[in-house]
Amino acid sequence: MHYYGVAYYPELRTSEQIESDLTLLAEAGMNLIRVGEFAWCELEPAEGIYRFEWLESVVERASSKGIWTVLCTPTAAPPAWLTEQIPDMGYVDSQGRQRPFGSRRHYCYNHPRYRELSSRIAEKLAARFRDHPRVIGYQIDNEMAQEGTGRCRCNLCKRQFHAWLERKYGSIEQLNARWGTVFWGQRYDSFEQINLPVATMEANSIPPIPAFFDNPSLRLDFERFCSQSQIEYMQIQAEALRTFGGPHQTVTTNGTGTGTNSINYFEAFAPMDRYGVDAYPDLRGEDLYAASFEWSLARNVVVSTDNHRFWVLELACGGGHGLWGFEGRLQPYPGAIKQLALHAFSSGAELVTHFQYLQFPYGAEQLNYSILDADGIPRRRYEEVRAAASDLREMADMLERTEIRCDTALLFDYDSLWSLGIKPVHREFTYVAHAREWYSRLLESGIGADVISAEADFDRYAMLIVPSLFVTDCKLQAKLKAYVANGGTLIATFLTSVKNKDNVAHQQSLPAGLTDLFGIHVTEWEPVFERSMATVGIEVKGERRSGPNRYWTESLEQHGAVLTAEYRNTFRQGQGVISSYKYGSGTAHYVGTTIAREAGKEWLVALAEQAGVSIAPFQLPSGVEVIRREGEGETVWVLFNANTCEKEIAIDGMFVRLSDRLPVPNNLRLPAKGYIALVSS
């Protein structure tokens, strides 16, 4: 079953309006509404007084039109009576300011009383709707950590952080030794002396004292503590929803993928039924790779679910004033909404809801983007979701009987993300952008990939890309070695294995603990700015190609490996920068800098061919992506043209359209924002 719908706010609508809204949704072929995430004051207007009738009536009326519902716990918006009752429950930001009532997300996720009340409203909601066959599940809260609320610094959090550290290190002496607090004379006599870090990498927060350098070990542990605290908060609600909800109801939340960096989603969702994510790609742009990256991660967070399916609880639909004018949200390019929705479904989504149905006339999100403008008249965006619903119905059988099976994966690691954010190596380099760049290069080459955690089973993949795995321990080093020894092809990029799990530098030659795997030592490294840029020459299929490097660069010394790229100029001329080493039955490649786009693609394809990775039989122009889905004896290729102009795709082999089995020419033309599902004839 596939669900396609909208985020809907019936608390803002009259009974007649609700009737016509639901009718319009059903007429568009939509079959889901997601409701309630900010409606606490309507559900529990005073402590212990519950008013669920209005919500029940919406669920019933939707149900009578064939529309399913996802209910949200309303805890992202604690009501006035509650904030008044618990004056110290407010979120405290990096500047020590407590968020007052009057917006949303104004709570500390560690506050015991707030946790209790959150769990109670979740319980009441689930108990009330447990038997409703059309309530398919629950979304916990809304976008935890969003709007700079992922690192609370209240006194309670401080005390709990001390306790967390004490549990982890056992004694202050241990902590001092592992963090190296003797540096700058920071040795602690007790856990109580530890301050919460002043500096922060939280999105939307202003650096409080720019020249204050906290201990990086303290900061990494604080990231972990905040992540785990928020996970605990979600788990408390998940437990209530599971205990009191129905067995047919899915429990999840809406994360923000790699957009918000304060929760380790691999850990957060491990006990949930589905991974849930929100995504706001640019609907006027020509790039689906960023969305693909999120879907590929989404497929691999909750791996126990059938076909690795996930939920997209909010998906962009364009239009409106935009929430923050300076972001410049534009109207969607014609076809972009429809394409994005089908792209998500083809990539493994089981549910997609657009944010949102109708422009808000009130409040902070007044006139924000939506399917319908405030006048409620169906126009272009409405017609597009109607067309998307119709295309989804056509593709539904195929999506049910096929799934995505990748033989390539890219490793995504929160410790490395955090560590590189805490102490950046270059003002333009970010871990996420670097991972995305490698991922895009795979897609451009027709290689589908999963995005996986370090806990995943590497042996399922013929090729594993490991971008800047900055933080490692012996266990992870051994796992990488075993993967290659067993025949895997590993590609690791610069800044690999520089620090340990305490965010302390490994005191070994780099890549620490892995020099025997790669057959090299990194002898020098530096950031790349205009004055340190160099030309890198690389051999691709017997031909020498060259291009400038960016961000970061390393010089490699051979310890058994073959050097396959070298510096062409500067004082590094002749030094190696990419290496390749046979290790056991596999090969480990080390890439000491960035490779120019085209040469990099060809280099990657050559390695993929050697590794036996399956590559799509299409010549993909820039911005065209293909998703391979497989079922019993069947392979379906869904092609997407993200460009705002037609693109011609050279096809290698005989293919027919899935819809009508008509053959397609070998120079297939895909219109702007078009897509097509093909099978071999």
Residue ranges binding ligand GAL (CB under 6 A): 142-143, 146, 278, 314, 323, 355, 365, 368
> Which is nearer to ligand GAL, 322 or 424 (by Cβ)?
322
> Which is nearer to ligand GAL, 21 or 278 (by Cβ)?
278
Contact, 425 vs 604, CB < 8 A? Answer: no
| DSSP secondary structure letters along 481-516 | HHHHHTT-EEEEESS-S-B-TTS-B-SSSBSTT-HH
Minimum separation from the CB atom of position 256 to ligand GAL (A):
7
Minimum separation from the CB atom of position 76 to ligand GAL (A):
8
Residue with smallest beta-carbon separation from ligand GAL = 143
- Which string of b and e fits 515-533 if b means at least 16 CB within 10 Å? bebbbbbbeebeebeeeee
Task: Find the helix or strand (DSSP H, E) in which 241 lies.
Answer: helix 216-244
Which value, to the nearest 10 degrees, does the dihedral of the CA atoms of residues 556, 560, 566, 570 take? Answer: 40
466 alpha-carbon distance from chain centroid: 17
Contact, 592 vs 494, CB < 8 A? Answer: yes
Task: Find the helix or strand (DSSP H, E) in which 217 lies.
Answer: helix 216-244
CB within 8 Å of 10: residues ≥ 6 apart: 18, 21, 35, 54, 55, 58
Strands 655-657 and 675-680: antiparallel
Minimum separation from the CB atom of position 421 to ligand GAL (A):
20
Contact, 227 vs 261, CB < 8 A? Answer: no
Task: Extract the tokens encoding 551.
Answer: 């961000």
Say how many CA atoms lie within 13 Å of 91 toward its Cβ: 26
Minimum separation from the CB atom of position 326 to ligand GAL (A):
14
Minimum separation from the CB atom of position 329 to ligand GAL (A):
8
Q: Cα separation of 185 and 44, whole Å?
A: 52
3-state secondary structure at position 225: helix
> Which is nearer to ligand GAL, 34 or 601 (by Cβ)?
34
> Which is nearer to ligand GAL, 280 or 333 (by Cβ)?
280
Contact, 576 vs 629, CB < 8 A? Answer: no
Contact, 312 vs 337, CB < 8 A? Answer: no
CB within 8 Å of 152: residues ≥ 6 apart: 91, 92, 108, 109, 110, 226, 229
> Which is nearer to ligand GAL, 233 or 438 (by Cβ)?
233
Q: Cα separation of 185 and 8, whole Å?
A: 55
In the DSSP assignment, the letter for residue 104 is S
Q: Cα separation of 441 and 333, whole Å?
A: 25
- Cis link prior to 511 (omega < 30° from 0)? yes
